[in-house]
């Protein structure tokens, strides 16, 4: 059941109060800094991402709370240093959202989500102190698969894209052939480069067909783990270790695992 706006604000105020108390009374909370919290924040973000992939509403709610705690924690530290507080954090994101949505708060028009994305890139380039180039602002620390998607998405929003999405498959096939050629040549360095080009092309294909490659790969990871765990469990039930089994025996169990889904 959804809570009223008043109930939501009261809950957020409660979190701010709890944070104040912990920062004052708990030795562990009191000693934390921006730097000491950073790795925990990264881990919490990945835990949220996992819950989102699983579409587990209870876990999503829980992990969102963990991430929100970190936002409040950083704001509390910022307040103690006289740099910023929670009001600054909220007001800055509100100001940014209003500025970046001229089709809602201004005179611009956007007929669909694609128009909005293109408008965002144009608006961000105009922001005072904002990104000076199209690709500025992409964090260096982003996982490579996500970074490739963001690079391609950003350049597409300013018109650097395939005229027809089907055209991307010729590029994918070209990169496969170049990778295979370098593998045949036994040139490890060039093969690595060509494999990177192939992955980049595949990410581009995923983007054009509205597939998030990181989400797709994570689902495949989970599926593989689930099936392999089944193979391992069935082997144990037969009193066998995987190293003692033939590939045909493992494949039979693998196919069995697929039928169980």
Q: Where are the domains of the chain?
A: 5-84, 134-214, 215-259
pLDDT of residue 99: 86
Domain 5-84 coded CATH 1.10.3210.10: no
CA 31, chain centre distance (Å): 30
pLDDT of residue 175: 96
The encoded tokens of residue 199 equal 């992955």
Q: What does DSSP assign to residue 81? A: T
pTM of the model: 0.65
User: What sign does the dihedral 216-218-223-224 (CA atoms) show?
Assistant: positive
pLDDT of residue 103: 86
- Total H helices, total E strands in the chain: 12, 0
> For residues 33 and 70, what is the distance between their CA atoms, to the nearest angstrom?
11
pLDDT of residue 130: 55
State which residues of the chain have pLDDT below 50: none
pLDDT of residue 197: 97
pLDDT of residue 16: 97
Measured torsion, CA atoms of residues 100, 106, 109, 114, in degrees rounded to the nearest 10: 10
The encoded tokens of residue 233 equal 């469990």
> For residues 107 and 169, what is the distance between their CA atoms, to the nearest angstrom?
39
Give the CATH superfamily of 134-214: MazG-like (1.10.287.1080)
Indicate if 134-214 has the same CATH topology as 5-84. Answer: yes
CB neighbourhood size of 189 (10 A): 8
> For residues 39 and 23, what is the distance between their CA atoms, to the nearest angstrom?
19
Residue 91, helix vs strand vs coil: helix
């Amino acid at each position: 059941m959804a809570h009223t706006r008043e109930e939501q604000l009261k809950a957020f105020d409660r979190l701010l109060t709890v944070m104040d108390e912990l920062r004052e009374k708990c030795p562990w909370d009191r000693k934390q800094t921006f730097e000491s919290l950073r790795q925990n924040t990264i881990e919490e973000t990945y835990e949220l991402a996992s819950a989102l992939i699983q579409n587990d509403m209870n876990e999503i709610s829980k992990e969102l709370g963990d991430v929100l705690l970190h936002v409040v924690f950083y704001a509390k530290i910022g307040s103690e240093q006289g740099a910023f507080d929670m009001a600054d954090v909220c007001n800055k994101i509100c100001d940014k959202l209003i500025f970046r949505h001229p089709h809602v708060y201004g005179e611009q028009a956007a007929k669909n989500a694609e128009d909005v994305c293109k408008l965002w890139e144009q608006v961000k380039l105009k922001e005072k102190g904002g990104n000076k180039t199209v690709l500025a602002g992409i964090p260096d620390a982003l996982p490579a698969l996500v970074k490739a998607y963001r690079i391609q998405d950003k350049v597409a929003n300013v018109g650097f894209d395939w005229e027809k999405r089907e055209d991307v498959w010729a590029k994918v096939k070209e990169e496969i052939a170049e990778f295979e050629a370098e593998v045949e040549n036994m040139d490890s360095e060039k093969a690595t480069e060509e494999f990177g080009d192939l992955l980049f092309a595949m990410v581009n294909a995923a983007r054009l067909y509205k597939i998030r490659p990181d989400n797709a790969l994570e689902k495949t990871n989970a599926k593989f783990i689930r099936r392999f765990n089944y193979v391992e469990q069935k082997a144990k039930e037969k009193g066998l270790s995987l190293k003692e089994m033939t590939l045909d025996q493992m494949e039979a169990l693998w196919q069995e695992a697929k039928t169980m889904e």
